[in-house]
Amino acid sequence: MVALVSVGLEVLDSEDIGSSPALEFVVVLLIVVLFFARFGYFLWFELGPRGATPGKRAVGIRIAARGGGRLTAEAVIARNLVRDVEVWIPAVFAVSGGAGLGGAVGWAAGGWLAVFVLFPFFNRDALRAGDLVAGTWVVEAERRKLLPAMSVATPSTSEYRFGEAELGVYGEHELQVLEAVLRQGSPEAERQVMEAICGKLGWEAGRGDERAFLEAFYTALRARLERNMRFGRRKKDKLS
């Protein structure tokens, strides 16, 4: 425990610095940059309107106050200060091979640090210790684009006609898989899906008209499922 404390930024020997003003300026800059990289980076970005660092934004998550309140500056500061014991000290401890602590003391210190490192894996909301102290959590906040409406592309005068029996085979899950295939627009995937559907319906799958067939089938199936939905009858998937 005691030696853990002395593990810090012991990289610079202050006696050697000061031989030239330019070098001194670089060293000052380096120390300040390192300090802000350690704390300022997270504070600056998480206090901004997006509530996320660029990394968090890239994976589509952000910080929010637990319980739906406002995210306050103090909460962001608290969650980032605790990062020290959760990330930096264990990292230094691991890299330095137990910080020179041997035997039982080393194991005890390692085990104690593991409590912090493993904390997110042992609670329902995957809170890390900093989130717990600050009253925050990390939520999904993906940014999506509005994709075109599906039934606009389909001419309502399609030559395909589907009866109740044919449309009754599939449910909402299959409809949304079909939607993903249509939005993706890969001919091979469309061919495979068409063969699967025709096999299920007992139809002969023709060639060269996959897209039109799938769009017509999608529209008819969605119209049926949505109509039933309005009457309170939902069909989750083909098994239900």
Partner 1 sequence: MIDLPFLRKAEIEAPPDIEAASLRSDKFRIEREGDWLRLDRAVTALEKDRPGRISDEDLLALPVLYRQAASSLAVARETSLDAATLAYLESLVRRAWFQVYGPRTSFGHWLGRFLAGGWSAAVRSIWLEIGIALAVMLAGTAVGWLLVARDSAWFDALVPGGMADERRPGASRDALAETLSGTGGTDGLSAFAAYLFSNNSAVAIMAFALGFAFGIPTLLLLVYNMASLGAMLWLFSQAGLGWEFAAWLSIHGTSELLAILLAGAAGLHIGRTMAFPGTRTILAAASASGTRAAHVMVGVVIMLAVAGLLEGYARQLVADTASRATIGGAMLLLWVSYFLWPRARGSQP
How far is it, in rounded angstroms, from Cα 206 to Cα 184? 21
Helix and strand totals (H; E) in the chain: 13, 2
* Smallest distance from partner 1 to CB 207, Å: 26
* Smallest distance from partner 1 to CB 201, Å: 20
* Smallest distance from partner 1 to CB 240, Å: 15
Closest to partner 1 by CB, 75 or 194:
75
C-alpha distances in angstroms, 93 versus 89, 131, 132, 193? 6, 23, 23, 54
Closest to partner 1 by CB, 144 or 207:
144
CB 19 within 8 A of CB 104: no
Strand extents, DSSP E, 23-168? 61-65, 136-140
Output the CA angle 47-52-55, nearest 5 degrees. 140
Closest to partner 1 by CB, 205 or 212:
212
β-strand partners of 137: 64
Residues 6+ apart with CB under 8 A from 204: 198
* Smallest distance from partner 1 to CB 67, Å: 8
Closest to partner 1 by CB, 70 or 207:
70
* Smallest distance from partner 1 to CB 189, Å: 16
Closest to partner 1 by CB, 204 or 231:
231
